[in-house]
Structure 1
Amino acid sequence: MMRSRPFGLALLLVSGLSACASQGPTRLPPDRFDYNQAISRSANEQMLLNLVRLRYSEIPVFLAVTSVLTQYSYGSTIGVRGSGGASFGDPLWQVGASGNFVYIERPTITYAPLTGDNFAKQLIEPIPTEMVFSLVSSGWPPRDLLLMTMFRLNDKLNMAFEMTPEAFERFDDFKLIVDQIIELARRDAMEVEHGEESKYLVFDRRTDPETRQLIAEFKTSLGLDAELSKFRITHRHMDRKPDEVTMRVRSILELMGFLSRGVEIPPAHQEQNFAEKSTGWDDETPRRIPLHVHAQVEPPQDAFVAIYFQDHWYYIAQSDHRSKKSFGLLEYLFQMQAPQLPTMGPLLTVPTG
């Protein structure tokens, strides 16, 4: 029975070596999850960094992850030594064994800068109107969504880059229009109709007196013809026809510039005039800007996303759900607008041989 020990030990080591061949499939679920999280975290940090750059009057720069190629290597060495003899007529075995298993992961990540005419065009062109209303229909919080994305409704202008009392007054007037839109949509008294060549803002004539009064007030606010119930949506402001309504949606760059006003500027940077001063900032600003980016010297403890810039940490608090939703909307719209780059290969490759 004693003679079987070295063979049993060797068999155990060989079986361990053969198990390496089946490690590839088992690595796929956890590694796919890890890379997914890493890419998501990197995208959030990049977007936050560019918002902070805009607040400091710097140019945003974007890098796209075009491919992630991961290779796995498994290696092992096995050694078995033994000696035999007899002592006083009894067999005597001495057996020794050694084993070494090596696991190596070699990720190759390819980045591509987002530049060129196509990308610049996507940044500065208005976000499609139908995309905004599709997000409203899909359940996105309509008030912040419309206040973030809509810039003009006929003669009513939303707040842009500037932070002045006049801009805040425009914002408050624009918010009243948005509240009217939300209420009319809630009552199913207004909708956007898609025609073959144009989109139309349509009001329901078959409504109760209270709703008809709300429709009349909305038309008065925008200077629309009270007798018409269907208006063609146009981006043109000048020479607008009586049966048209101007809807101008922000571009991605305009939206980023608007949200960048929610970035705090540390006192030290204010003293050194590193960033443009917000003369109109007051206690009501957080109500107007749906994104709040904190700034501090020490690393944050409760950050949803954080970046290090100009000797300070900038972050969105994990408990700030409004800012997280606004930031997520910006990320989603950016992904929809950004040009599609050709991928360099599969997202994740796991050789198992």
Structure 2
Amino acid sequence: MEHHVIRTAGLLVASTLLGWIEGCAVVGPSAIASGRSVYNEVINRTGDEQLLNMIVRERYGETFGMLRVASVTASMKFRGSVGAEFGFGPDSNYAGNLVPLSAGVAYEENPTISYAPLGGEAFLTKMLAPITVEQSILIGQASDRSSLVSVMIRRINGLENPALRSGKSSPAFDRVVQIHGILRSKGMLTLARDETSSDSGDTGYYFIFFDYSSEIDLVREYLSALGITSIEPDGQDIYLPVRVSIGRPSHDSVNLELRSVIDIIRDVGASIDVPAEHVEMGIVDPNLVDLPRADRIIAIKSSKERPRLASVAIQAHGYWFYIDATDAGSKEGFGLLRTLIGMRLDATDGPSQVPVLTIPTGG
């Protein structure tokens, strides 16, 4: 009888161990499925907070740093235990005092996160040097908002675009950006790259006007505002070279002078709703211009209390600075700014991501 009990218990222990092993096979994939989304969410959220912190600290004249998540390694450990208690002799000696079979499984996940501080000459160069034409074009094509396009441009064909923080404006520049947006939204203006270009001053990019007969006057105004006199719109396709040039306007191309990432961050910070208390204390300068919320690239609010609805929020100087979760325009602008910074820091000399164009040379 006792041998039969022991044999039965042994079978139960074996079946329990088998069930535990099968359970491990299930826990592993499910842990990956849940863990990956959690890590991704946390990394993305802290990346947003890091960018907002940069904008606020720059607005307050403070230094800032950046940390990049270099890698995330998660190891999983499983621990199991099985126990059994048996009695010998008369049943009355142990009845009700034994646990015939017990089993336990413990699952533990140990993540290792590696951070890479960003600094040095390469980092400063990418933050302080003007963004590239390709980067400005890719960001510009991702949004129809003219303010997002204009904030990247310092000057175009001699038309200066004053920084938002200066409190100045340029109606002529604003009109060029407005017409550009209209023609692009109607599918009459696009951009492509000619990889055969050999001119050292040419970026290889072209603004292309096509099917614009219904808006020929608008195209004529656009070219005239840029001082381009060598081209007369007649309904035929127009190929307008895009070049990087400082100061001097051109009569046959679009000459761009672009801003740096730091310039853009400063312009974004210029429209933060800084608390009056901080201005009175002298820890931050007052805004030189009070832009309507619709004209702000990113509307960053401030509050003494933690915001109830915020897509991203940080604490600084006893206040909360945040982007309202209901402000779609600011969320779009913030996302594109983060994308631009990522493009700058990851910039390589790899192949272009802009559509390739072969420019006809025959008459």
- Specify the TM-score bucket, using the shorter chain as the normaliser: 0.7 to 0.9
- Aligned partner letter, 1:233: V
Q: Separation in 1 of the partners of 2:207 and 2:278?
A: 50
Secondary structure (helix, strand or coil) at the match of 1:242 reads coil
Q: Is the 8 A contact 1:84 1:94 kept in 2?
A: no
Aligned to 2:314: 307
Aligned to 1:184: 183
Alignment of 1:254 with 2:274, yes or no, is no
Q: Separation in 2 of the partners of 1:117 and 1:86?
A: 84
Q: CA RMSD in A?
A: 2.9
- Aligned partner letter, 2:341: F
Match for 1:26 among 24, 30, 33?
30
Q: Separation in 2 of the partners of 1:301 and 1:105?
A: 32
Match for 2:143 among 137, 140, 145?
140
Q: Deviations over 1:316-341 (max 9, x none)?
A: 11111100000000111111111479
Secondary structure (helix, strand or coil) at the match of 1:133 reads helix
Aligned to 1:330: 337
Q: Separation in 1 of the partners of 2:71 and 2:347?
A: 13
Match for 1:111 among 111, 115, 129?
115
Match for 2:154 among 146, 151, 163?
151
Aligned to 1:351: none
Unpaired runs of 5+ residues, structure 2, are 233-237, 349-363
| Post-superposition offset of 1:270 | 1.5
Q: Separation in 1 of the partners of 2:303 and 2:109?
A: 37
Q: Separation in 1 of the partners of 2:322 and 2:17?
A: 52
Q: Separation in 1 of the partners of 2:136 and 2:273?
A: 28
Question: Against the structure 1 CA distance between its residues 157 and 60, is the aligned structure 2 distance closer, same or farther, given a 3 Å change threshold?
Answer: farther
| Post-superposition offset of 1:5 | 6.4
| Post-superposition offset of 1:254 | 1.4
Using structure 1 for the length normalisation, give the TM-score: 0.83
Q: Separation in 1 of the partners of 2:294 and 2:95?
A: 86
Q: Is the 8 A contact 2:146 2:181 kept in 1?
A: yes
Please show how residues 1-353 of structure 1 align to structure 2 within 5 Å. Answer: 3=5, 6-7=9-10, 9-11=12-14, 13-19=16-22, 21-22=24-25, 23-86=27-90, 95-96=98-99, 97-137=101-141, 139-160=142-163, 162-164=165-167, 167=168, 169-170=169-170, 172-195=171-194, 196-197=197-198, 198=202, 199=204, 201-202=206-207, 204=209, 207-208=212-213, 210-225=214-229, 227=231, 230-281=239-290, 284-339=291-346
Aligned to 1:345: none
Q: Deviations over 1:222-274 (max 9, x none)?
A: 22215355543222234444323221232221111111123221122111011
Identity %: 23
Question: Against the structure 1 CA distance between its residues 340 and 65, is the aligned structure 2 distance closer, same or farther, given a 3 Å change threshold?
Answer: farther
| Post-superposition offset of 1:276 | 1.5
Q: Is the 8 A contact 2:271 2:287 kept in 1?
A: no
| Post-superposition offset of 1:303 | 1.1
Unpaired runs of 5+ residues, structure 1, are 342-353
- Aligned partner letter, 1:150: I
Q: Separation in 2 of the partners of 1:74 and 1:202?
A: 60
Q: Separation in 2 of the partners of 1:179 and 1:241?
A: 20
- Aligned partner letter, 1:15: L
Aligned residues: 331
Secondary structure (helix, strand or coil) at the match of 1:83 reads coil
- Aligned partner letter, 2:345: A
